[in-house]
Amino acid sequence: MSENQPPVTIIEAGQSVRHYWRDLWRYRELLFFLCWRDILVRYKQTVLGIAWSILKPFLTMVVFTLIFSRLAKLPAGNVPYPVMVFAALLPWQFIATAFTEAGMSLTGNANLISKVYFPRMIIPASTILVSLVDLLLASIVLLGLMFWYDFLPDWRLAALPLFMLLAAASALAAGLWVAALNVRFRDVANVIPFVIQFSLFASPVGFRSEVVPEHLRILFSLNPLVGVIDGFRWALLRGSAPLYWPALLYSVLLVSVLLLAGIRYFRITEKRFADII
């Protein structure tokens, strides 16, 4: 593309925007700016500021440890219970907040959508990025715990980025769906908290997957989060939670299908967002 031949944009009814991915790339800075805005805004006028990002998961971990290990006396194997819980809390919290925030993101940015053009996918994507930053900050707590209990990860840690990718993909897949649906049906916003609550009990966060009886294991693994969370535990806890391959493969497959379909649905509906939001 030379200087005197600027790009031509064609706008037609029913045509999906050409060069969508090129546009997405052109607006990549906006992605970071929106992410930056959300992080900045969250801690304005707070005394503790960014420390909340570490404090919140830490407090959740304390509650979980008290309830599941002390009161319910669930076994943790040879792993210190707080470490075991926290290794699962990281991905679960990430997916839960990313999913919630992404779901509300389009309606929360309605003024942008009705007044400026940019690929709308940037909005839910930026909320995923925000949650990713939270995840990284919360990892500091895990690191502290591991030093405290002298339980450091081994070579399996190298696989963690892959599981992070899987977690991010599942958050984005679910997020795109609920975000787009919520533009048309605000009912979705009311459903999200229940899904989150339910998924906490249906996922191996406060307990180990091995606790689930063998004949129910397949049923249990229908929840795609099981594969993600067990993967995190396997990578972080020296493999003390063995990988359950059927669950993991199923997770990868389901997330890929949901993500591709989600992108498709999002792109079909996004052209009308400004009309119905």
Partner 1 sequence: MDPVISVENLSKQYVIGHRQGEQGGSLRELISAGAGRFARRLFNPLAHRSSERTTELFHALHGVSFQVAQGERIGIIGRNGAGKSTLLKLLSRITEPSGGRIAIRGRVSSLLEVGTGFHPELTGRENIYLNGAILGMSRAEIRRKFDAIVDFAEIDRFLDTPVKRYSSGMYVRLAFAVAAHLEPEILIVDEVLAVGDAQFQKKCFGKMEEIGQEGRTVLFVSHNMTAIRSLCSRALLLHQGALVLDDDVATAIDGYLGGSCEQVHRLEWSEGAAAPQNSSALLRRIAACDRNGVLLETITTDTELQIEIVFAVKSAGASIGLTLIVHDTDNSCVFSSINNSEPNWYGAPMPVGTYRSVCIIPGRLLNNRRYTVTVNLFGKSFTDLVTVREALRLEVLDGVAVRRDYFGEYGGYLRPDLEWSTARV
**How many residues contact partner 1, by CB under 8 A?**
37
Examine residue 6 and tell whether it contacts partner 1 (CB under 8 A): yes
Examine residue 11 and tell whether it contacts partner 1 (CB under 8 A): yes
Q: How is residue 258 written in tokens? A: 């949901």
Smallest distance from partner 1 to CB 146, Å: 36
Per CB under 8 A, the list member of 162, 184, 193, 198 interacting with partner 1 is 184
Q: How far apart are CA 129 and CA 126, in angstroms?
A: 5
- Contacts to partner 1 from residues 115-144, by CB under 8 A: 115-118
CA trace torsion 71, 74, 80, 84 (10° rounding): -110
Q: How far apart are CA 36 and CA 136, in angstroms?
A: 15
Contacts of 253 (CB under 8 A, 6+ apart): none
Examine residue 157 and tell whether it contacts partner 1 (CB under 8 A): no
Q: Which stretch binds partner 1 (CB under 8 A): 7-15, 132-140, 142-150, 213-221?
A: 7-15
Residue number, 4 or 213, with CB nearest to partner 1: 4
The answer to whether residues 208 and 241 touch, using CB atoms and an 8 Å cutoff, is yes
The answer to whether residues 170 and 228 touch, using CB atoms and an 8 Å cutoff, is yes
Residue number, 120 or 208, with CB nearest to partner 1: 120
Per CB under 8 A, the list member of 1, 2, 3, 187 interacting with partner 1 is 187
Side-chain-side CA neighbours of 111 within 13 Å: the count stands at 0
Smallest distance from partner 1 to CB 172, Å: 21
Contact pattern for partner 1 over residues 15 through 44, marking x by CB under 8 A:
--x---------x-xx--x--xx--xx--x
The answer to whether residues 237 and 67 touch, using CB atoms and an 8 Å cutoff, is no
Q: Which stretch binds partner 1 (CB under 8 A): 9-17, 60-68, 83-91, 152-160?
A: 9-17
- The residue among 269, 271, 262, 264 whose CA lies nearest residue 175 is 262
The answer to whether residues 179 and 121 touch, using CB atoms and an 8 Å cutoff, is no
Binding site for partner 1 (CB under 8 A): 6-14, 17, 27, 29-30, 33, 36-37, 40-41, 44-45, 111-118, 184-187, 271-272, 274-276
